[in-house]
């Protein structure tokens, strides 16, 4: 019984740490986010391409939670190329907001990675696309090996999962107005001849008839008198 009580208490503590955002995400549609490559802030991190490595680990961890819908890297790369922003992720809120809007994401996950000797530090920032502001900032430490960095990425995602309720909900789609019917769009052609006939001054056809009638009613000229 004591073991069961401890298990239930541990589960309750985990649910409390995750917050309401995780529960809402599991009940409804997952939150769509774009994960950019982390910006290496030390020479060692840049040489080992830890920014790309960290982003890959974060994508895998985010998808496995079921709370996130992650934008595909191909679509994200296309947007970054069009904006000529490069691969870095340490972007201002306005730039990250523009990126998220173009890929239809609710949030953008950016951050930095630093490596010094055998220690690695990850700093993650979750930016709300609707407002352009940072709604959550988390960090994690790891040893300078891939397994430890992957574990640190999973820790960051589990922390950010509790911050999803801070993201603005997606804007409702505008309802398309019904197109006008063919009968309503068709011009009223039946009344066109009547309006044309009612216009004043269109009696050009009647005038020749009156002239001909006047000529017919005029008396014929008398024949000239015969000469004697």
Kindly report the CATH number assigned to the domain that includes residue 126.
3.40.50.10070
Q: List, for residues 55-91, the tens digit of each pLDDT value.
A: 999 999 999 999 999 998 888 888 888 776 554 444 5
pTM for this entry: 0.61
Structural domain for 138, as ranges: 15-166
Residue 171, in any domain of the structure = no
Residue 130, in any domain of the structure = yes
Cα 68 to Cα 63: distance, rounded to the nearest angstrom: 6
Q: List, for residues 104-157, the tens digit of each pLDDT value.
A: 899 999 999 999 999 999 999 999 998 889 999 999 999 999 999 999 999 999
Residue 62, in any domain of the structure = yes
pLDDT given at position 140: 96
Residue 113, in any domain of the structure = yes
Residue 33, in any domain of the structure = yes
Percentage of residues of the chain with pLDDT beyond 70? 57
> Which long-range CB contacts under 8 A does 177-184 form with residues at least 24 apart?
none
Least confident span in 15-19, 44-48, 122-126, 165-169: 15-19
DSSP assignment letter at 209: H
Residue 182, in any domain of the structure = no
Residue 178, in any domain of the structure = no
| Helix, coil or strand: residue 122 | strand
- The answer to whether 202 and 196 have CB atoms below 8 angstroms apart is yes
Counting the structural domains of the chain, the total is 1
Residue 171's pLDDT band (boundaries 50, 70, 90)?
low
pLDDT given at position 223: 57
Does residue 12 register a pLDDT over 50?
no
pLDDT given at position 126: 94
Token output for 209:
């008839």
Residue 224, in any domain of the structure = no
């Amino acid at each position: 019984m004591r073991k069961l009580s401890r298990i239930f208490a541990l589960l309750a503590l985990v649910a409390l740490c995750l917050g309401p955002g995780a529960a809402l995400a599991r009940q409804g549609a997952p939150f769509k986010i774009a994960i950019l490559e982390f910006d290496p802030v030390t020479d060692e991190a840049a040489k080992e391409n830890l920014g790309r490595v960290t982003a890959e680990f974060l994508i895998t961890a985010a998808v496995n939670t079921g709370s996130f819908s992650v934008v595909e890297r191909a679509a994200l790369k296309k947007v970054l190329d069009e904006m000529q922003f490069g691969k870095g992720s340490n972007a201002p809120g306005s730039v990250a907001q523009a990126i998220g809007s173009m890929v239809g994401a609710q949030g953008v996950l950016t951050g930095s990675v630093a490596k010094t000797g055998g220690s690695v530090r990850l700093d993650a920032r979750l930016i709300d696309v609707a407002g352009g502001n940072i709604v959550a900032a988390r960090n994690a430490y790891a040893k300078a090996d891939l397994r430890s960095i992957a574990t640190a990425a999973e820790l960051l995602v589990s922390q950010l999962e509790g911050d999803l309720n801070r993201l603005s909900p997606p804007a409702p789609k505008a309802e398309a107005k019904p197109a006008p019917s063919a009968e309503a769009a068709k011009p009223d052609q039946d009344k066109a001849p009547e309006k044309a006939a009612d216009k004043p001054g269109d009696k050009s056809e009647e005038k020749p008839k009156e002239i001909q009638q006047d000529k017919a009613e005029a008396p014929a000229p008398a024949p000239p008198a015969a000469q004697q």
